[in-house]
Amino acid sequence: MIPVHIAGVGMTQFGKSSNTLVEIMRAAAVGALAVSKIQDFDAIYIAVMNPEEYTGDANIASHVAEALGFRGIPAVRVETASSAGAAAVHVAYHGVASGYYRHVLVVGGEKMTHLTTSASTRILAEVIDAQERNCGATMPALAAMITARYRKKYRLSESTLAQVLCAVAMKNHANGVHNSCAQFRQVITQEKYFASKFVATPLRLYDCAPMTDGAAAIILTGERTDVAVCGIGQGTGPVSLRERETFTCFPATQIAARRAYQMAGISPREIDCAEVHDAFTPFEIIGTEDLGFFPAGKGMQAAASGQTAADGNLPINASGGLKSRGHPVGASGVAQIVEIVHMLREQSTAKLRRAPHRALAQSIGGLASNNFVTILERSKEVTQLRRSSIAPASRRVELPRADKKPSAEPIESEGVIETFTIVYTTPDGFLPPLALAMIRDRKGARIMAQGEDISHLQIGREVCLHQIAGTFYFTVKSRLKKIRAAMQDFCTGRAIQNDPKTPTEKIEFIAKKTTCGSEKQFHSIINLIAEELRGAIASGKIAPGNRLAEGQLALSLKVGRVPLRDALRRLEAEGYITAVSHDQFMVSQLTLEDAEEYYSIAGSLEGLAARLAVERGSAEELSRLRELHQRLKLAYRGKNLEQYFEANRQFHRFIAQMSRNGRLYQLISEMRRGLRKARLLALQLPQRTDYSMREHDQILDAFLKRNPDLAESTVLKHLANQLTAVKKILQSAEASTMLSFEEFSRSRLP
């Protein structure tokens, strides 16, 4: 292998630029040419992460080559997300070291500041796992979740973590003051750090590198110069967070570092300074551990004690790092190497305690899934490559076969929080604050899920999981208990207010009895709120005409407005309430027209379900239907109206299940929710319960006779009789007078 050296380097001012991406990259290349004796190249490697979405530029390598006037020579774009710059340098290194090329130009750049923060956040999030991205995860969110897990593993208090992250941010901003190319050249104080807003807890604004316009360029050559590339290494890892064995280190960096150290024939102790990828302040700390500078869990202590300051024992990001210099994602990997070249040549404005002999740059791609380590050294006396400079062979990792299908095991409905964050700067399409957590279910499978609420979050807490349209949602179990209690207090207060003459002990209506069970029935705050309000409205606890103010209700229940709004919208769709403004709802009055419309649709659906159930039902299912009918009859004979109502619900639901038509079952479930109040009203008619029991006897008989026509007609007759009872109630004064549970039970059951 031919020794590879670095000739000229160049970098533009980082920050907001009015120039185009190609113009910015050309300026960096011109800067490198201006300080290099080499003016002709065998190839150009271009590093850009996503110009197609950021600027609408495709075929970017050809554009840059043409802008530089180098026509006819190979020009190739290299992309590995935010490590693209380092990747381009490594590819160029191989071209020169192999002898195929003599001189190669590498240019990395990105233009980002013209887009909104949310739009740019969405583009950056495209490099992460699709399932996690669809939950609303962003790079800052995932970095925050890694940080939270790091704090938990090494038993750091929230205040200790915050103080150390603040120290890293202050250090890098102080270093950036001396860097003429840095985007931010102002120191920040502790007060300013803690006054900054959260981006994703526990990360604040000053923990995150800024979106930047900028470019950097390097000339690699087979001719000897004063700086040599003595070691390179690359490592990859899982793209998704959920597939990782650990959240508190980056194995891809560890692999890359081992390869680079072995190639250079040195140990971490022989590095004099380093530029570490600090897109987020905790990544600098984790990076120093992964690179072998400090033991695992000790990077925090090293940063807090000043060991990584510019005048410390091991200066880290003496240039200001990505945090202060800026982070144009395609350029950063090249810019880091430009910075350490300046330090090795003693051309840097960094306030180092001593001139370095050997320096390292570490670059992270995506969520540390494609990482690079580059080691440079002064080479005035170097005449040939070390014997150990040939990169070690890659360790083979057994991968799953490409044709092997992923596990079809469903995610369990309960699990525990492994790590979490609350996102305040969300991508397009997601409202802040957004709770995200990595949940491990009882079988050990992990899944990213959105929280229905942002309170009561803590690593290790048990949660309930449910899935809607492919997205998983979680709710802390203890939170469900508190919301249930608050809901019952709210509904009870409304009932007393609506009828102050009614004793509290008489406000035990059927709807509440049939909807309330253990909290395990509800895996969702939305479902819990909707069900409790639905029961309270159906029973008359919250009377027609009452207003429900979203803000007041949120305060009463101590829940977020997003799940509450979803629950109210669900009730609005079912006809229980009507929107009177964007955040005010009124409890609807059941009308004759509503009842007739509901029963007309319900009759068609349930009649069809009965026919299909007879045709498709198995002997075991018929036996189960007979058991449910027996339970209904026992409740009737025992004069237990609440059990009768619940057994009736289960009987009809099972018939819908027997139809083996998922969409039909879903539609019937939706209609029966809307009919709940009507069914309660129907049971108030004298002797209606007697007729109801006889009708259920006839329905069961039709099923046992395996007669689909008879089954359909008996179900239709049952619903028609129920509608008749509802009409009589609505046409009488009884429609506005709800009886107590005791009176209801005594007068309606024989």
CA atoms within 13 A on the CB side of 678: 28
**Residue 499 reports pLDDT greater than 60:** no
What is the rounded distance in angstroms from the CA atom of residue 479 to the CA atom of residue 469? 24
What is the rounded distance in angstroms from the CA atom of residue 215 to the CA atom of residue 22? 10
User: What pLDDT, on a 0 to 100 scale, did the predictor assign at position 393?
Assistant: 52
Using 50, 70 and 90 to split pLDDT, how confident is the model at 101? Answer: very high
User: What pLDDT, on a 0 to 100 scale, did the predictor assign at position 395?
Assistant: 52
What is the rounded distance in angstroms from the CA atom of residue 169 to the CA atom of residue 172? 5
Is pLDDT larger for residue 348 or for residue 544? 348
Give the pLDDT mean for 734-748: 41
Most confident of the following: 200-214, 440-454, 527-541, 677-691: 200-214
Least Cα distance to 301 among 154, 142, 189, 169 occurs for 154
Label the pairing between strands 273-276 and 358-363: parallel
What is the rounded distance in angstroms from the CA atom of residue 472 to the CA atom of residue 434? 13
Residue 461 identity (one-letter amino acid):
R
Answer whether the bond into residue 433 is a cis peptide, omega within 30°.
yes
**Residue 143 reports pLDDT greater than 90:** yes
User: What pLDDT, on a 0 to 100 scale, did the predictor assign at position 599?
Assistant: 85
Is pLDDT larger for residue 479 or for residue 2? 2
Tokens in use for 676? 């709940």
Task: Note whether 338 and 344 are within 8 A (CB).
Answer: no
What secondary structure does DSSP assign to 119-181, as a single string?
A: HHHHHHHTTS-HHHHHTT--HHHHHHHHHHHHHHHTT--HHHHHHHHHHHHHHHHHHHTT-TT
Using 50, 70 and 90 to split pLDDT, how confident is the model at 188? Answer: very high
CA atoms within 13 A on the CB side of 275: 32
Give the three-state DSSP class for 446: strand
**Burial class of 454 by CB neighbour count within 10 A (0 to 12, 13 to 18, 19+):** middle
Least Cα distance to 664 among 646, 651, 649, 652 occurs for 652
User: What pLDDT, on a 0 to 100 scale, did the predictor assign at position 281?
Assistant: 98
**Residue 745 reports pLDDT greater than 70:** no
User: What pLDDT, on a 0 to 100 scale, did the predictor assign at position 746?
Assistant: 42
User: What pLDDT, on a 0 to 100 scale, did the predictor assign at position 493?
Assistant: 62
Give the pLDDT mean for 107-122: 92
Give the pLDDT mean for 151-171: 97
Q: What's the pLDDT tens digit per position in 615-666?
A: 999 999 999 999 999 999 998 888 877 788 788 888 999 999 999 998 898 8
Give the pLDDT mean for 710-718: 93
User: What pLDDT, on a 0 to 100 scale, did the predictor assign at position 380?
Assistant: 63
Residue 407 identity (one-letter amino acid):
S
CA angle 620, 622, 624 (to 5 degrees): 70
Is pLDDT larger for residue 600 or for residue 575? 600
**Residue 85 reports pLDDT greater than 90:** yes
Is pLDDT larger for residue 431 or for residue 51? 51
Give the three-state DSSP class for 510: helix
Using 50, 70 and 90 to split pLDDT, how confident is the model at 513? Answer: very low
The least confident of 112-121, 235-244, 333-342 is 112-121
User: What pLDDT, on a 0 to 100 scale, did the predictor assign at position 610?
Assistant: 94
What is the rounded distance in angstroms from the CA atom of residue 145 to the CA atom of residue 242? 11
Model confidence, pTM: 0.74
User: What pLDDT, on a 0 to 100 scale, did the predictor assign at position 722?
Assistant: 84
Give the pLDDT mean for 418-435: 91
Q: What is the phi/psi pair of residue 741, to 5°?
A: -60, -40
Q: What's the pLDDT tens digit per position in 268-317?
A: 999 999 999 999 999 999 999 999 999 999 999 999 999 999 999 999 99
Using 50, 70 and 90 to split pLDDT, how confident is the model at 525? Answer: confident
The least confident of 1-5, 52-56, 411-415 is 411-415
